[in-house]
C-alpha cells in the first residue's frame, strides 16, 4: 500500500514538473504575445519592459491553468466500454489523491505561499466548472474561430481588450498548443511502465 501511494506522489510530481518545464522550454506564451504583436501591429504592448514582463507572467499562469485542466482531465478519468459500443467515463481510483499531490507539487515548484496556492486552486476549479457547464459535442474549429474556453477569454482580455476578436483567435491557437503539451505529458505518464493509473 505504501508503494502505491509513493508511486502516485512520484507521478504527480513528475507531471507537474513536466508541464512547467515544457511550457517554459517551448516558450509558448512569449511566442503567443510576440506573434500577436507582429500580426496585428500592436507594438505598444511591448514598449514598457516591466509591463511586458507582468503581462507574460499573467498569461503564463493562464497557460498553466489550461494545461492543468487538460492533464488532470486525462489522468483522472478512465474510458471503459459500455453497452452498444459506447464508452463510459469513470473516475480513476486515487484520482483525488493524485490531484492533491499534483497541486502541492506545483505550489512547491513555484514556491507559492498558501494564499497563492489557494488562489490557483480556486481559478483551476473555476476553469473546470466553466468547461463542464459549456460541455457540448466537439466539432472541428475553423482557423479563424475562437474556442469557447476560459483561457481564450481571459488571455484576450489581458492581452488586448480593445482588439478582443483578434486576441481571442490568437489565444485559441495558443490554447491548442497548450492542450497538446498537456495531453502529451499526461499520456506519457499513463503509458510509462507500471503506471496504469495515477
Mean pLDDT across 68-96? 71
Q: Which three cell numbers stand for residue 119?
A: 488562489
pLDDT at 76: 83
Q: What is the mean pLDDT of the chain?
A: 83
CA separation, residue 65 to residues 45, 119, 188, 189 (Å): 23, 11, 19, 19
Is the model's pLDDT at 139 over the cut of 50? no
Nearest to 70 by CA among 139, 127, 153: 127
Contact in structure between 61 and 151 (CB atoms under 8 Å): no
102/137: higher pLDDT: 102
Tens of pLDDT along 96-126? 888 999 999 999 999 999 999 999 999 999 9
Neighbours of 86 (CB within 10 A): 7
Cα(48)–Cα(124) distance, integer angstroms: 30
pLDDT at 2: 44
pLDDT at 108: 94
Block residue for cell numbers 507559492: 112
Cα(15)–Cα(187) distance, integer angstroms: 10
Entry pTM: 0.82
Nearest to 65 by CA among 149, 134, 133: 149
What DSSP element (H or E) covers 137?
none
Tens of pLDDT along 7-56? 445 788 999 999 999 999 999 999 999 999 999 999 888 889 999 999 99
Q: Which three cell numbers stand for residue 161?
A: 481588450
Q: What angle do CA 171, 71, 23 make, to 5 degrees?
A: 55
194/15: higher pLDDT: 15
| Chain centre distance of CA 24 | 13
Amino acid at each position: 500500500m505504501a508503494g502505491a501511494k509513493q508511486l502516485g506522489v512520484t507521478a504527480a510530481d513528475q507531471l507537474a514538473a513536466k508541464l512547467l518545464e515544457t511550457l517554459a522550454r517551448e516558450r509558448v506564451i512569449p511566442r503567443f504575445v510576440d506573434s500577436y504583436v507582429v500580426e496585428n501591429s500592436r507594438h505598444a504592448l511591448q514598449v514598457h519592459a516591466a509591463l511586458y514582463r507582468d503581462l507574460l507572467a499573467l498569461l503564463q499562469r493562464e497557460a498553466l491553468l489550461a494545461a492543468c485542466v487538460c492533464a488532470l482531465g486525462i489522468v483522472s478519468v478512465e474510458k471503459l466500454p459500455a453497452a452498444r459500443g459506447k464508452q463510459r467515463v469513470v473516475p480513476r481510483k486515487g484520482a483525488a489523491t493524485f490531484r492533491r499531490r499534483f497541486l502541492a507539487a506545483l505550489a512547491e515548484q513555484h514556491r507559492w505561499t498558501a494564499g497563492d496556492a489557494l488562489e490557483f486552486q480556486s481559478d483551476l476549479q473555476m476553469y473546470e466548472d466553466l468547461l463542464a457547464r459549456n460541455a457540448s459535442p466537439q466539432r472541428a474549429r475553423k482557423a479563424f474561430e475562437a474556442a469557447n474556453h476560459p483561457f481564450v477569454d481571459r488571455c484576450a482580455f489581458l492581452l488586448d481588450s480593445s482588439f478582443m476578436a483578434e486576441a481571442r483567435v490568437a489565444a485559441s491557437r495558443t490554447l491548442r498548443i497548450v492542450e497538446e503539451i498537456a495531453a502529451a505529458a499526461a499520456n506519457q505518464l499513463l503509458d510509462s511502465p507500471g503506471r496504469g493509473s495515477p
